[in-house]
Structure 1
Amino acid sequence: MDVNFKLSEWEQRLQGNRVITMAPEDSSEELKGSLCIVDAKALYDHLSKETAGPSADKRTGLEIQVIRQSMSAINSEVRWVPHPRMVVDGLTKKGANMNALYDLLDTGEYQIVDEAQAMEEKKLEREHRGYNKR
Structure 2
Amino acid sequence: MAISLDKLMGFHHKALQVRTERMEVIAGNLANADTPGYKARDIDFQKVMQSAQYARDHNLTRTNENHIKGSMKGIGELQYRTTHQPDTGDGNNVDVQIERNTFLDNGLRYQAGMEFLNGKITGMKKALKGGQG
**TM-score, structure 1 normalization:** 0.24
Given the two structures, how large is their TM-score scaled by the length of structure 2? 0.24
Report which of the two has the higher share of helix: 2
Larger radius of gyration: 2
